[in-house]
């Protein structure tokens, strides 16, 4: 919670690597200009990243009248990162190079009823094995595996404290995963994974205070405040989905009434549709994705029921986002996850109008509201980024980036000898 | 927004002085143990504070078997700080020594209609003159004057961007004040003043993430996150009073419907009472303070109407605080300002129950909810603390703490030659 000089050094290391990933090749001078760090600090951090083989020297550029400047670029093949997105109905896994290009993907569907931790873990292990095999890389080059699992997560102990979709309580997920996956493991939830993905590669890059609103089956907000991920005292900040918007309103699955999620989570949107038009052909009672996609197509086609449902949903989303704008005064609000992607620009347009009706003018004027620009699964990308951050955080604690058994203190977990 | 090494040094300086104010006399070793800083860092910071004459050497204590340890204590008479609380109906000013003892107080009542900036400024000048005269100190020993004014404040430019009570727009308040007050001036609003007071001297001291909920005529939340004051991108974070709790509910003075403030600001509480019992003798239609005090006495006496109004009010406060608990996952929530002080323990009890009904169990379990332990006006104390922080922030920028004309960059404003 309290930030130390060590946190600052780690944050600076992230920032330099972020900049190199965004703009390769680049010089130390350009990095200093882009990050606001001193040239001496940049030189030190670049040296560390070169030692880790995360970046390489790629030649020189002329500088006007001066000595040629050394250029560095991200060393895409210097290692691999794996992101795991565990959702209610599927496990999605992507393997990235260090430039965060996707080299391989694997999906595992989970059948209804498949909710035991051991079942989920075996799907994850299969998909991780699949992407490593597809990419044809040596295991030693995998720097780490980030895992996103819904609900309350204790990232230090690796325990899934509460997963509402499966009613998990205190499942030692990282211990179970480490029995079948021999790479350093990092656990967190999709809200924080989404926020980190936006901070590194998306709309929150270079923004001081950002809110990443996840609109999916469940809803919540990842908070990137003061240039870093905000977690709260027990790593459960961001439960915007369970803030009360309509006192004594609809019953929510959390037991409270009138939560944001009860109106704007995918099941809530289906209920909005059912209340407006019980017999609507847009409604696929057992299929959230099909219903949301039908709504999106309906809006494109000018179907008045679809338009009205999206407007009504946006009214709730907008009032809820206005609450975040008033409390947090962010520079940017990013709409992410599959419902936001499916409903897209029409939803964004209505949400902006609704936020404008509810937020105070001053914080409203300071805020932009955008759709996530990340084209792939943000939870996967964010989870992989946790693994990248883990590797960067352990600088000085271990020499080679692939030393699988070194345990970075508190940052992640490492596989036991297997 | 992004924190630098310089911010960390400033924060460490605050922390060491906070600890010395809390526990004088103390040794460098004890300070290192209490703050988690290295002995070398503590020694440097103590040296700076000695140079500023904010603390003094006060002797030695034996250490078991080792050399005697030098003791330092706050130098109460090393300077004076003035806090100004500008409210809707009064200006309250206190003068503090460096141990933050109140040496003098002055109050100025503002008549209804007295709302021009010049009128407010002349009240402030009179009260500041009065406390300096009462305390019998030399002007040169006043390190600074912190000013708390309601609404949206730009602390860098010293402009009151919007004060809802007087409908001020973009009033250059600090320029106006500096024409009549010849001390360094620091401007902010009561939400942030209250939060800083709790961080330095109250219930948030030593807590990582804290929310200070102000319950007065207006309501809002000061946010102390990650050990520092959270301001948002344009210094307007914390407008919890204007978050929607009852979609399409009561009209609020901000123009939105169903805001927290519409139900729990003093006028909202009066409306709660009127709706329940239009002819209640507890109601003093033109006097918020008298009505709230009557409710407090009524609850003590077991008056069923008073009990019911406080319970109903607490239900709104509690649901609103649950929203903050779910989004921010704070370690502590502090209830502050005059309505909270007047309604006291009975309100606290009902609020705790209500938060428990609305918040998620995990963040709820990590949070304590308490009344502010600060016995005096928290906005005054917090405003004076802004002046103290300004003096500490300017270390290295000027030699003597009383050099009135040195302009601490961005932190505050200084009087022109007069
Ligand atoms: Zn809920
Ligand atoms: Zn309002």
DSSP assignments along A125-144, one per residue: HHHHHHHHHHHT--GGGEEE
How do the domains of chain B map onto residue ranges?
5-74, 78-193+377-396, 205-371
Calpha distance B146→A334 (Å, rounded): 36
Q: Inter-chain contact B330–A362, Cβ cutoff 8 Å?
A: no
| Residue B310, CA distances (Å) to A116, B214, B333 in order | 46, 16, 19
**A209: nearest CB among B152, B232, B240:** B232
Q: State how far residue A54 is from chain B, nearest Cα, in angstroms.
A: 25
A1 and chain B: CB distance < 8 Å anywhere? yes
**B247: nearest CB among A225, A245, A363:** A245
Which residue has 């002085």 as its token pair? B17
Q: Inter-chain contact A358–B162, Cβ cutoff 8 Å?
A: no
Integer-rounded Cα radius of gyration of chain B: 22
**To 10 degrees, what angle do helices A304-328 and A288-300 make?**
100
The pLDDT value given to residue B3: 57
Q: What are the phi and psi torsion angles at B390 (to 5°)? A: -60, -45
> What's the first-to-final CA gap in chain B, in angstroms?
35
**B3: nearest CB among A8, A330, A365:** A8
Q: State how far residue B367 is from chain A, nearest Cα, in angstroms.
A: 9
The pLDDT value given to residue B191: 95
B321 and chain A: CB distance < 8 Å anywhere? no
Calpha distance B50→B187 (Å, rounded): 27
Q: Inter-chain contact B327–A254, Cβ cutoff 8 Å?
A: no
For testing the chain B interface, which of A15, A244, A313 should be mutated: the one with the most B CBs within 10 Å?
A244
A368 and chain B: CB distance < 8 Å anywhere? no
The CATH number that domain B78-193+377-396 falls under is 3.30.420.40
**A232: nearest CB among B1, B209, B319:** B209
**B234: nearest CB among A225, A244, A362:** A362
Calpha distance A292→A283 (Å, rounded): 9
Structure tokens, B236: 């307007």
**Closest C-alpha among B315, B333, B221 to residue A326:** B221
B14 and chain A: CB distance < 8 Å anywhere? no
Residues of A in contact with B223 (CB under 8 A): 327
Side-by-side strand order, sheet with B90-97 = B102-109, B90-97, B80-86, B142-148, B185-188
The pLDDT value given to residue A401: 39
Give chain B's residues under pLDDT 70. Answer: 1-4, 395-418
Q: What are the phi and psi torsion angles at B252 (to 5°)? A: -105, 160
Q: Inter-chain contact B209–A233, Cβ cutoff 8 Å?
A: yes
For testing the chain A interface, which of B246, B327, B357 should be mutated: the one with the most A CBs within 10 Å?
B327
Alpha helix segments (H runs only) across A109-230: 117-135, 173-178, 190-201
* Three-state secondary-structure class, residue A338: helix
The pLDDT value given to residue A395: 64
For residues A340-359, b (16+ Cβ closer than 10 Å) or e, as one string?
Answer: bbbbeebbbebbbebbeebb
Does 1.10.10.10 match the CATH number of domain A5-74? Answer: yes
- The answer to whether the beta carbons of residues A224 and A212 sit under 8 Å apart is yes
In the structure, how many helices (H) and strands (E) does chain B have? 13, 16
Do the domains B205-371 and B78-193+377-396 match in fold? Answer: yes
Calpha distance A286→A282 (Å, rounded): 12
Distance B257 CA to ligand 2 centre (A): 7
Residuewise pLDDT in 10s, chain A (418 residues): 355 677 778 888 888 998 998 888 999 999 998 888 889 999 999 999 999 899 999 988 877 777 788 999 999 999 999 999 998 888 999 999 999 999 999 999 988 788 899 999 999 999 999 999 999 988 888 999 999 999 889 989 999 998 888 889 999 999 999 999 999 999 999 999 999 999 999 999 888 899 999 999 999 999 999 888 999 999 999 999 999 999 999 999 999 999 999 999 999 999 999 999 999 999 999 899 999 999 999 999 999 999 999 999 999 999 999 999 999 999 999 999 999 999 999 999 999 999 999 999 999 999 999 999 999 899 999 999 999 999 888 765 544 333 333 333 333 444 333 3
Distance B252 CA to ligand 2 centre (A): 5
Q: What does the CA dihedral B252, B258, B261, B262 come to, rounded to 10 degrees?
A: 60
Which residue has 């940017």 as its token pair? A332
pTM: 0.90
Pick the CATH number of A205-371 from 3.30.750.210, 3.30.930.10, 3.40.50.1370, 3.30.420.40: 3.30.420.40
**Closest C-alpha among A219, A192, A176 to residue A335:** A219
DSSP B256-297: -BSBHHHHHSHHHHHHHHHHH-TT-TT--TT-HHHHHHHHHH
Distance B288 CA to ligand 2 centre (A): 18
B227 and chain A: CB distance < 8 Å anywhere? yes
Q: Inter-chain contact A363–B234, Cβ cutoff 8 Å?
A: yes
Nearest bound ligand to CA A246? 1
Strand partners, A94: A83, A105
Structure tokens, B283: 């109601």
Q: Inter-chain contact A233–B162, Cβ cutoff 8 Å?
A: no
Structure tokens, B358: 């609305």
* Three-state secondary-structure class, residue A119: helix
């Amino acid at each position: 919670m309290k930030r130390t000089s060590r946190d600052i050094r780690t944050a600076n290391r992230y920032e330099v690597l972020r900049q190199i990933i965004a703009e390769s090749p680049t010089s130390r001078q350009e990095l200093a200009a882009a990050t606001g760090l001193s040239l001496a600090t940049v030189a030190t951090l670049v040296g560390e990243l070169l030692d880790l083989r995360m970046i390489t020297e790629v030649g020189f550029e002329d500088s006007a009248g001066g000595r040629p400047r050394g250029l560095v670029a991200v060393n895409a093949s210097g290692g691999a990162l794996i992101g795991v997105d565990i959702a209610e109905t599927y496990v999605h896994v992507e393997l990235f190079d260090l430039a965060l290009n996707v080299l391989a993907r694997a999906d595992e569907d989970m059948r209804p009823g498949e909710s035991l931790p051991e079942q989920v873990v075996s799907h994850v292990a299969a998909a991780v094995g699949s992407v490593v095999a597809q990419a044809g890389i040596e295991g030693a080059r995998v720097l780490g595996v980030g895992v996103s699992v819904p609900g309350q997560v204790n990232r230090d102990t690796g325990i899934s404290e509460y997963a509402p979709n499966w009613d998990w309580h205190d499942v030692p997920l990282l211990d179970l995963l480490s029995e079948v996956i021999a790479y350093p493991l990092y656990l967190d939830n999709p809200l924080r994974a989404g926020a980190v993905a936006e901070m590194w590669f998306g709309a929150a890059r270079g923004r001081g205070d950002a809110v990443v609103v996840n609109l999916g089956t469940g809803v919540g907000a990842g908070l990137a405040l003061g240039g870093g991920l905000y977690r709260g005292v027990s790593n459960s900040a961001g439960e915007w989905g369970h803030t009360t918007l309509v006192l004594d309103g609809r019953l929510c699955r959390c037991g409270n009434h009138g939560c944001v999620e009860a109106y704007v989570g995918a099941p809530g949107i289906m209920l909005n549709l059912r209340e407006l038009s019980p017999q609507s052909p847009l409604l696929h009672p057992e299929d959230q994705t099909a219903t949301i996609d039908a709504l999106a197509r309906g809006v494109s086609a000018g179907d008045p029921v679809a338009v009205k449902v999206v407007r009504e949903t946006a009214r709730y989303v907008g009032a809820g986002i206005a609450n975040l704008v008033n409390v947090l005064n962010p520079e940017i609000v990013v709409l992410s996850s599959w419902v936001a992607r499916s409903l897209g620009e029409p939803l964004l347009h209505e949400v902006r109008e609704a936020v404008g009706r509810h937020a105070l003018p001053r914080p409203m004027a300071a805020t932009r509201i955008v759709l996530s620009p990340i084209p792939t699964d943000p939870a996967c990308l964010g989870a992989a980024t946790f693994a990248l951050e883990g590797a960067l955080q352990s600088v000085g604690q271990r020499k080679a980036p692939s030393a699988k058994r070194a345990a970075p203190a508190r940052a992640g977990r490492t596989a036991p000898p297997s």
